[in-house]
Every structure is written in structure tokens, then in C-alpha cells.
Structure 1
Amino acid sequence: MAKIPLYVITISLVVGLGSFEFGFGSAVFVASLGQPGFYMYYGLDPTAKHTADIISAVNGLFYFGAAMGSLSQSWFADRWGRRVALAVAAIIALIGSALVAGSVNIPMLCVVRVLQGCGLGMLLTLVPLYLSEVAPPAQRGLLTGLSVLSFGLGYVTCSWMSVGCYFASNLTLSWRLPLALACVPPFPLLFGLRFVPESPRYLAWRGKLEEAWAVVQKLHKDKDDPNQEIAQAEFTQIVRQVEAEKEDQATFITMFKKPSWRKRSLLAFFITFAAQAAGIYGITNYLPVIFASLGMTGSMPLIMYASHTTVGTLAVLLSIVIVDKFGRRRLIFVGYISLTLILLAEGLLQWKYVGTDDKAGNAACVLFIFLYIIFFQCVDAPAFIWIAEAFPTHLRAKGVSLGIFALFVGTITFSTPAPVAFSTIGWRMFMIYMALSAISAVITYLYLPETKGLPIEEIGALFGDEVVVHLTQDGHGLVEDKSIQVDHREIASESATAAEKV
């Protein structure tokens, strides 16, 4: 693997703080569900159906706000740039998090979680959008995947902090402190954005070619390339492709009118919605409750939840390290096949052992919940990467918005009813998730094209768009070859071979 310039790594880590804030901010409420002080403060009975309904409503409203934020960011990102949009999102998330931490009753908590969700939804959309536009083709999967890794690190930080807070003598502090600490990550992000450049592709799209060239030079600064041949080739390709597409009017409506855009849009909606249909939030948002149903008491459900998020984040790291070698499509397909088998096993185990004293059976239930989060990362990170790189520059902000919007629609659809569903139909929920995962595996195999290794300007060829100019294999030059055809159903290895022939 070619080395990644330190400058690119630095700005990627700074921007990744946006995903960290989403992970932390969305996890704090989940963690609060494991704190006795939360239920005491709001006068709720943890075992009552009324409480389950309230939890569903608060979570549903948060993801509604996130869905609205994911759509609205495209206007900011296209009109004012990726950097300004990130700053606006961080400020909204900061205000929302502060109000959540200060909530004094359930109605207030419901309202301000919408605002917090809006800011966090914007951040989760903008981070992969920006990272895909500054990453070199060979490492785009790794760098764009940092958005999911940072998300996971936010979850891990919050979950282990909540374990510590469980032992606080002040029961209000035990759940309100993590909520308040969600206000911290936006500050280093806002400070760091002062040193982060605007996306060169956005600048070129807006006709600011001198600024775009200056950024591309920084992104490709390499002592082994003193003549900056790679930077010159990529800059030329960016400018020519943007100019060729400049007259296209990009709206959410036209995204579904032009055939090549419609293919991208439908697949972007599918790829993130399907991940939620596999039950990720329906399961993880209520893990403390699920672990309690398996006989765990006291702090143990929170400890197991924190361990679960840690294992999942380590799996994300492995996923983004190998995604540029194995491909997005292959990992997603393997992920869905694995999830189908794991969910089947989990459902059968819970059917047989939940409510019993069989320690081996309950331990097996826990094992498969951990296997679930490991193999889910074969789906999650590649999905974020795919939607961020599949669209042309003038459509990318809206395309990523659509994908993340679908993620939150799926989250609302499959996680909001989860507490009631798990309390009524129990293990059968895993069978529903299993069936949906199997369907997703089939659709992925048949229709999802491989995008690994291709310069982002050349991905349009996978959907039937014209690519004005191609980079040579070593990235130092350009080739004008409009005869290249790409089969939408090719396997990853065939796609890589086609890319090497360019």
C-alpha cells in the first residue's frame, strides 16, 4: 500500500471528530438506559410498557432530527462549502447536546433530542463526504472509513464512561454527566477546522481553480514526486470532469430522472437502509435491556455493552484496513451472509434459553451477539465508503445525504419499535432481521458494483456516464479513452483488473 501523506492523515483525523461526536452523542442516551438514576429522576418504571413507549419515542425523535439534518446539510455543503457546513453542524450539535444535558422532564428531552439529532445527522453525513474528496484513490476506503471508526470510538468512550458513572454516589450525576460531556467534542472540531482546507473538488466545481490547485498540491506533496506529476494529473482530471458535468442540474428530484443517477440513488438508499434492516440499532440500542434478560444484574449489563462496542470498533478498524484490498462489494456480501447465519443462531438460542438458568445457553446467546457486531462491520464501513464515492462532485452532497437519510429512516423503522417488540415477540425479532439480511445479500450480489481503486472521477463509468479522461495506472499521467465499459455485476477482482487496464 502506498504511503499516505501526513497532511492528509492530519486533516482526516480532525474532520473525523465529527463522527466521534455522533457516536458519543447518540450513545449517551443508550448508556443512560442502564443507569438507575435516569429512571428515578424521570419517575419511570424500567419494567413498564409505558417506559418502553417513552424510550421508543425519544429515540425515534432523535433519529427523525438526524434524518432532517442529513438532508439539510447538502444545501450548506453545496452553497457554502464542506468546511462551513461542518462548522454549522458542530454548533447545532453543541447547542442540542447542552440542552439534552439540562433536560428537566420528558417533553423537554424529546424536543431537544430532535435538535441534537439534527446537528449530529449533519456531521455524520459531512464527514465521509469530505474525506472521500481529499483521499487518494488507493487509500480512499481506509480514509473514508475513518468516519465509521471515529463513530465507533465515540461509542466506546461513552459506554466505558457510563460504566464508571454507574458507581457514582450521586444518582443524577451518573446519567447526566455523560450527557453533558457530549458538548466537548465539537470544540476541538471547530478549532481544527481553521486548519482544514476546503475540498479541492468543491473548489473546482465552484470555479476556484487556483485555490483547488493549491489544495491538491498539499494533498499530494511527496519527495518521491518532485515534479508533482500525480498532483497535476489528478487536478487536470478533476477540472475536466467537473467542467463536463457543470451544466447538469442537480436536485433531489433529478437524481431519480437520469438513469445513471437513478441507479446510484437507489443503491445508496438500499445500502444504508439494508444495514439497519439487519437490526443493528434495534439490537445495540437496547443491549443493556437484552443483557439483563439473559440474567445479568447490577453494572454487568453496562460492562457487557461497553465490551460489545469495543469489539465492534476493533472490527471496524480491521474492515477499513482491508476494504481497499478486498473491495466494498465483497465485504458487504460476506457480511450479510454471515449476519444471516448469526441471527438465525441467536434467535434459536434465545428461544431455548432466555428465562432459564442454563449458564452455557445464556453464554452462547452473548457470544453470538458479539459475533454479530464483528461481522456487521463488513457491512457498515464499506456502505459509508460506497455512498461517499459513488456520486459525481456536483451531486455528491445530495447523494450522501440520501444515503444517510435512508440510514436514519431504517433506524426509525427497525429500532423505534424494538423495545416493545423484544418485550412481546422476543426471539422472533432476530428471525425478522435474519430474513432481511438474506434478502440484502441477494440484492448486493446481483446489483452492487465494485468501486475500489478507481479515481473518484472515473466511478461514473460503472453507471454508464462518460468519463472525460482517465488516470494512468501509476497516477502520473492521463489517458483519453472513452471506449472502456464496465459491467454493473462484475465481481471485485474483475473490477480491479479493469481499473488496472485504464
Structure 2
Amino acid sequence: MQQISVLQLGGNPSPDLTVNMIKLTLYSIGVCLVICVGGFTYGFGFASFVTSMGQPGFYEYFDLQPGTAYTASILGAVNALYYFGAAVGALLQGYVADWLGRRLALAVAAGFSLVGGSLAAGAVNVPMLITVRILHGIGLGMIICLVPVYLTEISPAKWRGFIAGLTTLSFSMGYVICSWIAVGTYFSKNLTLQWRLPLALAVAPAVIVLLATPFLPETPRYLVFRGRLDEAWALLQRIHHDPSDAQEAAAKAEYTQIVKQVEYEKEVNVGLIQIFKKPSWRKRALLAMGVQFASHCTGVNGIAAYLPMLMSSLGVSGVMPLVLYGLYVTIGTSLVAVVISFVDKVGRRRLILIGYPLLALVLLTEALLQWKYLHSDNRGGLAACILFIFIHIVIYQAVDAPTFVWCAEIFPTVIRAKGISLSFFGYFVGAITFTTPSGVAFKEIGYRMYLLYMGLCLIAFIIFYFYVPETKQVPMEELGALFGDEVVVHLTADGRGIVEEQVDKAVQIVDTKETDSTVFVTHDEKA
């Protein structure tokens, strides 16, 4: 029988699961908050056009008649090409982030967002609006992919769900701020200002990201991937700085695991094709794309993107569609904060599996209510229709944040940027598939659209029940075991040392310039 012993700095592994590696330093918190401005950039940029569709000045300027099939098709085209640009940006990000690094790639994405947002705010006709929204979509597609890449690569396992979940919270905050700005601009006597100002303000967070980029560190996992080990070690020391851990055991243990796992997995010039050739990588890529695609099967973006228009069809007029949209995204964002606070305890899989059948039930109820009351003057029935749209966004949060977290954490370092780019490609393809025709569909088939979403939610639940594993509190370098990969190094429960290494002899793991102490893993063979 093989037994594995660990000689570590500071003695035996502590049974206390709340020490060292799971602590968050002020430095790492500050870095995460700056990165979240990138998520905010995406959310504000997306919502700026949604809220424009609720402004009378928008329709007057572009000579569109609200409520007509032609107008719905134009708005659908603008949304479709925006998502097309975002899908392109997502795929580009996978290569740019591996080529330039996560930090510089973030600057490139912010630059695209800045240019695209500026041109969108200055659009003078529908063809120009469509064209510049593609460019804006490229930048926003890149930036929303980079945020979870960066956040997961600097997160300790204990807090990874919460930190990666900040992606969802940050872009949801963008929705909220933009929506209430739009409520304010609705009252402007300048009809052009009504819709141009939110579009123009979308460039502000992109500028902040650009200005902050020089002060951000690269992620330790990317540094190891590029062979810059000294820089990676110095950064991990800073991330895990803890006065009670004078020997820096947590930083050394994580550094060891990252280096060994990256060395084991590293392949030169890994492209998208190579990802689909390796079975364990292919499985992860297909699941991540499927999970993100399925988030649109819930109908949430189809509803949100046309919510002002839907509210008008339910008899709401004036500024109230924008007010209700503001309440809608505010409630949704509040629930995001709640969900990410316990996603590391409850788990990603469990929340997703709870969310989908409940969403199906709500969608069925909404369909029945609209079938009964949509074209009536029954105020109680119409109010119930609006109520269940709000219940829908509340329950959707059980799916939303866990989906982003799960897709961000399952890929190994060597393909993480490209893997996440594929997951968001699936997300934006889902948006094109379901969000783009929603404007016309809600106009033409009404409540039946909710029945379609209901059926898709049930299908997604069945697939995910059998194929989506739980990932909570598992170190990122050990997640590969869930998909058939070999894990070279396992950490002790407290994150201070190494439990085992899959070699047949004693191997020196960490030897830094700062100390003469060395961590060894020994294997003792006993009968």
C-alpha cells in the first residue's frame, strides 16, 4: 500500500479550513474591483441600446413607428449584429489574451469598446447604427470574456465562486445604472439627448479600464504559462500575504500546484481545433458552450431586450416602461448579490438544477396569463402578467451567476482564455438565436413564445442533470479530474502544502530565493 507524507514549512497541515489560502487580502480585493469595471462596461454598453428603444426621441430621429413589424425587425437586426460582433470579439479574445496577456488584452477590449460606443452615440441613420453596434459588440464581447478569465485566475478555491460571480454582478450593475439614467433622460425636452446620452456615457467605464490597465498585475497562472516563474511567485506572495503565515506556505503550495500542472498540460500553440481534438478538453468546451447557450433558452434576454416594448403591449405607457425596466434589472441585480454570496456553499450544479424547472413553471404561468388577459382591459390580469415577468428574473438568478462561474473555472490554464471564449461564443450565438427574433415573435405569436422557452428549460434541465458536475471549492488545477484529466499535484485541505504528486520518487517542489527551506513530497512504499 502506498502512503504519501508531506514535509512542509511550518509543520503539519492544519485542519482549520479557514486559513491562509482561503483568505482574501486587500490587494486581491482591490484588483478584483478594478477588473469588475470591465464587467460594468459590458452591462452599461448593452443596456444603453435597450433603454434607447424606450425613448420617444429614438423612434422620431430614425423615423421608426413604434409597435410595427418593420420597427421590430429593424431593432432585431441591430441586436443581432451587435451579438454577432460580440461573438467575434469572444473568439478573438481567446487568442489576444494568450498572446498579449490578460492585462493588455483587457486594454485592447476597452479600446474597441471606447471607439464603438463613441460611434454608436453619434449614429445619424439606421445603417450607421447597425454598423457601429457591430464594432461596439466586438469590444464588449472581448471584455466580458476577459473579466471571468482574470477573476478566476487570481481567486483562491474557497472564494472562487463568489469572485467569479462578480462578473455577473458587475455587468448587472451596468444594466441598473444605465436604466435609471434613461429614466432621467426621458424627461429631457431635447429628444435627441434622450437616447444619445446613455449611448455616450457607455464609453466612460471603458476609459476607466484603459486608465487602470497599467496599474494591474498579470495573473499568476498566465505568468507560469509563459515561463515567467519569478514574477508569478512574487505575485502569489502578494496575493496571499498573511502575517500569520510567516513561511508563506499557502503561496508556495499554490505556486507548486500551478507550475506542476501547467508543465504537465502545456502544449505549444494550442488553437481551437486542438481543443476539440482532445476528449477531455472537447467535453469541457461543448458543455461550456451548451450551458451558456441554454441561458438564453430561459427567455431572459429575449424578455429583457424588448421589455419596454413588452410593457407597452401590456398597456403600460409613457415613462413607466423605462421605470419598470429599471425596477426589473435592479431586482435582478440584488438577487445576483445574494446568489454569489452562497454559491460556494450551495454549489453551482445544485443552483442550476433548481433554477431551470422553476423557470419552466413561471414561463408556463406567464403564457397562460397572457393567453387570457393580453388583449383585455382586465387590470388585475395585466398586473399579474407583469408580476410574473419580475418573478422570472428573480428565479433566473439561480441559473445566471452559477453558469458564468462554472464556465469560467473548468478549463486548464493552457486553454482557459480560448475555452472561455468558446463558452461566450455559445452565449452570443444563443442570443442571436433567441433574442434577435423575440421582438417579432412577441409581436406575432405572443404567449406561445413563453411556451417555447418553457420546453427548452425542461430540456436543459435533463441534459445538465446528467452531464454537469459540481465544481465548488475544488482547486482549479484539480478540476480536470472531473473531466478525465490527470491531476499531477493535490493540495492539502488547508492549502498549506502538497498531499501527493504522481511520481515514483521524491521530488523537490518549491525552492525560492527568499528562503533556504524546501518543500518535499515523499512516497513510502509499505506492504
TM-score range, shorter chain: over 0.9
Match of 2:133 in 1: 113
Match of 2:513 in 1: none
TM-score, length basis structure 1: 0.95
SS in 2 for 1:480: strand
1:395 paired with 2:398, answer no
1:17-36 residue pairs with structure 2 within 5 A? 17-36=37-56
Query: Aligned equivalents of 1:315 and 1:338: distance in 2?
Result: 15
Match of 2:384 in 1: 364
TM-score, length basis structure 2: 0.90
SS in 2 for 1:295: coil
How far the C-alpha of 1:481 sits from its partner, in A, is 5.6
**The one of 244, 268, 287 aligned to 2:264:** 244
1:352-394 Cα offsets, whole Å, 9 max, x none, are 1112121221111111111111111111111111111101101
Match of 2:311 in 1: 291
> What letter matches 1:21 in structure 2?
T
Decide whether the 8 Å contact of 2:62 with 2:125 is kept in 1: yes
| Greater CA drift, 431-440 or 371-380 | 371-380
Match of 1:333 in 2: 353
Query: Aligned equivalents of 1:38 and 1:232: distance in 2?
Result: 57
Match of 1:486 in 2: none
1:26-80 Cα offsets, whole Å, 9 max, x none, are 1111101110000000111012211111101000000000000000011110011
Match of 1:497 in 2: none
Query: Aligned equivalents of 1:291 and 1:330: distance in 2?
Result: 33
Match of 2:464 in 1: 444
Q: Percent identity, please.
A: 56
Match of 1:127 in 2: 147
SS in 2 for 1:402: helix
Query: Aligned equivalents of 2:386 and 2:447: distance in 1?
Result: 13
Match of 2:123 in 1: 103
Match of 1:157 in 2: 177
How far the C-alpha of 1:309 sits from its partner, in A, is 0.3
1:164-219 Cα offsets, whole Å, 9 max, x none, are 11011111111111111011001211222222110100000110000000111111
> What letter matches 1:469 in structure 2?
V
1:88 paired with 2:93, answer no
1:307-330 Cα offsets, whole Å, 9 max, x none, are 000000011111111100001100
Decide whether the 8 Å contact of 2:67 with 2:309 is kept in 1: no
**The one of 17, 32, 39 aligned to 2:59:** 39
Match of 1:67 in 2: 87
Match of 2:523 in 1: none
1:16 paired with 2:36, answer yes
**The one of 331, 346, 369 aligned to 1:349:** 369
> What letter matches 2:471 in structure 1?
T
Match of 1:464 in 2: 484
How far the C-alpha of 1:250 sits from its partner, in A, is 2.2
Match of 1:138 in 2: 158
How far the C-alpha of 1:248 sits from its partner, in A, is 6.2
Distance 1:301 1:247, change over 3 A: closer
1:351-500 residue pairs with structure 2 within 5 A? 351-480=371-500
Query: Aligned equivalents of 1:307 and 1:104: distance in 2?
Result: 31
CA RMSD of aligned residues (A): 1.1
Decide whether the 8 Å contact of 1:33 with 1:288 is kept in 2: yes
Decide whether the 8 Å contact of 2:352 with 2:402 is kept in 1: yes
Decide whether the 8 Å contact of 2:23 with 2:240 is kept in 1: no
Query: Aligned equivalents of 1:284 and 1:7: distance in 2?
Result: 36
SS in 1 for 2:203: coil
How far the C-alpha of 1:430 sits from its partner, in A, is 0.3
How far the C-alpha of 1:3 sits from its partner, in A, is 4.1
SS in 2 for 1:479: strand
Could you say which structure has the greater relative contact order, defined with CA pairs below 8 angstroms and 6 or more residues apart? 2
Q: Which runs of 5+ in 2 are unaligned?
A: 1-17, 504-527
Decide whether the 8 Å contact of 1:144 with 1:385 is kept in 2: yes
How far the C-alpha of 1:141 sits from its partner, in A, is 0.5
Query: Aligned equivalents of 2:243 and 2:318: distance in 1?
Result: 57
Query: Aligned equivalents of 1:152 and 1:247: distance in 2?
Result: 36
Decide whether the 8 Å contact of 2:335 with 2:397 is kept in 1: yes
> What letter matches 2:101 in structure 1?
G
SS in 2 for 1:189: helix
1:218-275 Cα offsets, whole Å, 9 max, x none, are 1101122121110000001100111111236522112122111111011001100000
- How many equivalent pairs are there? 483
1:455-480 Cα offsets, whole Å, 9 max, x none, are 10000010111110100001001011
Q: Which has the larger radius of gyration?
A: 2
Query: Aligned equivalents of 1:43 and 1:248: distance in 2?
Result: 53
Q: Which runs of 5+ in 1 are unaligned?
A: 484-502
Deviation beyond 2 Å, 4+ runs, structure 1: 247-250
> What letter matches 1:204 in structure 2?
V
Query: Aligned equivalents of 1:293 and 1:43: distance in 2?
Result: 20
Distance 1:436 1:33, change over 3 A: same
Query: Aligned equivalents of 1:355 and 1:163: distance in 2?
Result: 27
Query: Aligned equivalents of 2:123 and 2:464: distance in 1?
Result: 43
